[in-house]
């Protein structure tokens, strides 16, 4: 039985679903032990119930206003004070921009190893075994922590969320945050779609074949119908058809949606590094020899400007009856 600490994360007032995936992973590691969730920020209170429904037994709410916006300094000070009190046997965090920044700092402070970007967790004969992709997703390795406690970041959209209800204890935890080297005065958000790209269940991606910023409009329309997000290849970003925040691939975001539709993307290895673990890949390309077809489950050889509106119409009809 282990005591597992999970850092949860919210974005724009909504709990990120990877927080619940991390709780499911924690449940496996805990083996009947205690799962402790930490929620930060002045509106963290609102997430206590949903965290409780997904396995958290104790929920540490740290309501300091300074934690409403992420800074490495403030978050690491807050989390370290929780860790010192809880003394967990394992720690999990989401593999998000925050987790990627914070986890190494926490690991270094406590002299722990860190297994980053895990897509699966199992316990084998009492050993915690993490699975993570290597070589840009072309292979997977299994890792066991042999010294110190298991500490990992969990990649979004890989561990199916389980509902595990029980009694919950909510603790309003007071932390002292001082000597901050960075204070965020204002956060200006780029206007992107409503659905978070790295957690989206459906991603419609455009490449250089989309040909212009306007060419992304039919992709956005299809994404809206399917409650998905729009992504892009670096080719499309370099051509200034869209913002770099949409870039998927080795030097962009890694996505693992249920459905990935690549439109006018050739399928360069650097692009595949960001999407090849999608559950179903559909490629639309007018070149039948495009490498993207080698990783696609379904390929459509054709002009994306003809194919996408047809798909959108068909989805509209089907979804009207659901």
Q: What is the contact surface with ligand FAD in residues (CB under 6 A)?
A: 207-209, 233-236, 247, 249-252, 264-266, 268, 270-271, 274, 284-287, 290, 303-305
Q: How far is the CB of 49 from ligand FAD (least distance, A)?
A: 38
Distance of CA 183 to the CA centre of its chain: 26
Residue placing its CB nearer to ligand FAD in the complex, 121 or 296: 296
Q: How far is the CB of 295 from ligand FAD (least distance, A)?
A: 13
Residue placing its CB nearer to ligand FAD in the complex, 207 or 228: 207
| 3-class secondary structure, 79 | helix
In degrees and rounded to multiples of 5, residue 10 shows phi and psi of -120, 155
Q: How far is the CB of 301 from ligand FAD (least distance, A)?
A: 9
Residue placing its CB nearer to ligand FAD in the complex, 66 or 275: 275
Burial class (CB in 10 A: 0-12, 13-18, 19+), 188: exposed
Q: How far is the CB of 251 from ligand FAD (least distance, A)?
A: 4
Q: How far is the CB of 273 from ligand FAD (least distance, A)?
A: 7
Q: How many CB atoms lie within 10 A of CB 26?
A: 29
Residue placing its CB nearer to ligand FAD in the complex, 48 or 219: 219
Show Cβ contacts of residue 271 under 8 Å, excluding neighbours closer than 6 positions.
207, 233, 234, 248, 249, 250, 265
Residue placing its CB nearer to ligand FAD in the complex, 252 or 257: 252
C-alpha to C-alpha distance for 81 and 116, rounded to whole angstroms: 22
CA-based nearest residue to 256, from 190, 196, 189, 210: 196
Evaluate whether 29 touches 149 at the Cβ level (below 8 Å). no
Q: How far is the CB of 221 from ligand FAD (least distance, A)?
A: 16
Which residues does residue 285 pair with via DSSP β-bridges, in sequence order? 301
C-alpha to C-alpha distance for 67 and 78, rounded to whole angstroms: 9
Residue placing its CB nearer to ligand FAD in the complex, 115 or 236: 236
Enter the tokens of residue 297: 């489950």
Distance of CA 81 to the CA centre of its chain: 25
C-alpha to C-alpha distance for 18 and 285, rounded to whole angstroms: 32
Q: How far is the CB of 311 from ligand FAD (least distance, A)?
A: 13
Residue placing its CB nearer to ligand FAD in the complex, 43 or 303: 303
């Amino acid at each position: 039985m282990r005591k597992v600490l999970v850092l949860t994360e919210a974005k724009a007032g909504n709990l990120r679903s990877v927080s619940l995936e991390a709780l499911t992973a924690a449940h496996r590691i805990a083996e009947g032990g205690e799962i402790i969730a930490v929620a930060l920020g002045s509106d963290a209170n609102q997430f206590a119930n949903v965290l409780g429904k997904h396995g958290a037994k104790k929920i540490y709410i740290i309501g300091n206003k300074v934690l409403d916006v992420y800074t490495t300094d403030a978050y690491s000070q807050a989390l370290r004070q929780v860790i010192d009190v809880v003394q967990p046997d394992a720690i999990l965090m989401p593999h998000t921009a925050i987790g990627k920044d914070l986890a190494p700092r926490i690991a270094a402070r406590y002299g722990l190893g860190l297994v980053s970007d895990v897509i699966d967790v199992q316990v084998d004969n009492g050993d915690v075994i993490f699975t993570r992709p290597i070589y840009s997703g072309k292979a997977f390795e299994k890792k066991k922590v042999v010294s110190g406690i298991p500490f990992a970041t969990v990649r979004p959209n890989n561990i199916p969320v389980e509902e595990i209800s029980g009694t919950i204890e909510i603790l309003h935890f007071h932390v002292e945050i001082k000597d901050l080297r960075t204070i965020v005065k204002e956060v200006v958000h780029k206007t992107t779609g409503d659905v978070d790209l790295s957690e989206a269940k459906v991603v419609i991606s455009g490449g250089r074949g989309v040909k212009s910023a306007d060419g992304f409009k039919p992709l956005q329309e299809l994404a809206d119908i399917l409650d998905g997000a729009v992504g892009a290849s670096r080719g499309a970003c370099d051509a200034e058809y869209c913002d770099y925040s949409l870039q998927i691939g080795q030097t962009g975001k890694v996505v693992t949606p249920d459905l990935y539709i690549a439109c006018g993307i050739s399928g360069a290895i650097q692009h595949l590094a960001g999407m090849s673990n999608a559950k179903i890949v559909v490629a639309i390309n007018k070149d039948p020899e495009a490498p993207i077809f080698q990783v696609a489950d379904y390929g459509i050889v054709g002009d994306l400007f003809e194919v996408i509106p047809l798909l959108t119409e068909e989805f509209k009809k089907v979804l009207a009856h659901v």
